[in-house]
Amino acid sequence: NGEFHGLAAVVTGGASGIGLATATLLAARGARVACLDLRPEVPEPLVGLRADVTDDASVRAAVADAAERLGGIDILVNNAGIGALGGVEANDDEEWHRVFDVNVVGMARVARAALPYLRASDHAAIVNTCSIAATVGLPDRVLYSATKGAVLSMTRAMAVDLVPDGIRVNCVNPGTADTPWIGRLLSGADDPEAERAALEARQPLGRMVAADEVAGAIAYLASPLSGATTGTDLAVDGGMNGL
């Protein structure tokens, strides 16, 4: 039972962090869930499927496989993404193309592959994992912010186009969310524990956002509870955007 009873969801980047937390929450509320990831090891009842969002053939095969195993697709959580640090001089053309290919083109590829299935659903929703970097200038994150700005614009434009198909499209803007991603960033510091404490102290709420809290926002935008909401972004940032 639960609000996702009878619905099928695909979550990209679903084997870690925000994606895994979202897949787990949707499954707990009744959805059948497939996690598409480079390393798709996920606990039951989640279905792990290997996919690289930068490879169109891989995306098409995994989305078709997911639809067959789940009996269709009602919800797409476009969440796979990678980071990039530095100012405008920090990354060369190759790196710009590489990060855009994952964070922006990757989401378009998965949406393209999933749309035929979503059109057949009476409860279709796409939720893209964007970032507060799309709406607030953050230090040392020019390339990453540019990709997330593109995700926000793509979300709004897709929402307009897909109204006639009954498919809602929204995004969430996490602030600093405590996932393995942040763990990898902190592990590069001289004193990771001190760096973690300093990072927490810089957050308006005095702590990072939990992956489960981002998952809650994604689940809301994926569920019929948000049936009148499309083309919007929901910040889950502990107040970064406003306090």
Q: Which residues are catalytic?
A: 144
Q: Is the peptide bond before 192 cis (omega within 30 degrees of 0)?
A: no
16 is a contact residue toward ligand NAD (CB under 6 A): yes
User: Between residues 82 and 108, which has the closer beta carbon with respect to ligand NAD?
Assistant: 82
61 is a contact residue toward ligand NAD (CB under 6 A): no
How far is residue 179's CA from residue 170's CA, in Å, rounded to a whole number?
A: 22
User: Between residues 8 and 77, which has the closer beta carbon with respect to ligand NAD?
Assistant: 77
How far is residue 188's CA from residue 195's CA, in Å, rounded to a whole number?
A: 10
236 is a contact residue toward ligand NAD (CB under 6 A): no
Q: Closest separation between CB of residue 23 and ligand NAD, Å?
A: 11
Give the CA distances from residue 41 to residues 130, 185, 203, in Å, rounded to whole numbers and listed in that order.
24, 22, 32
48 is a contact residue toward ligand NAD (CB under 6 A): no
28 is a contact residue toward ligand NAD (CB under 6 A): no
Q: Closest separation between CB of residue 19 and ligand NAD, Å?
A: 5
Binding mask 194-233 for ligand NAD (x = CB under 6 A): ----------------------------------------
Phi, psi angle pair for 241, to nearest 5°:
-80, -15
CA triple 102-103-108, angle to 5 deg: 85
Q: Scanning residues 152 to 191, which ones bind ligand NAD (CB under 6 A)?
A: 174, 176-177, 179-182
17 is a contact residue toward ligand NAD (CB under 6 A): yes
The only residue of 31, 53, 70, 77 in contact with ligand NAD, by rule CB under 6 A: 53
CA triple 229-7-74, angle to 5 deg: 55
25 is a contact residue toward ligand NAD (CB under 6 A): no
Longest dimension (CA), the chain: 53
In 56-105, which ranges are continuous DSSP H helix?
Answer: 56-70, 93-100
66 and 49 Cβ atoms separated by less than 8 Å: yes
**Contact set with ligand NAD (CB under 6 A):** 12-13, 15-19, 37-39, 51-54, 79-82, 102, 129, 131, 174, 176-177, 179-182
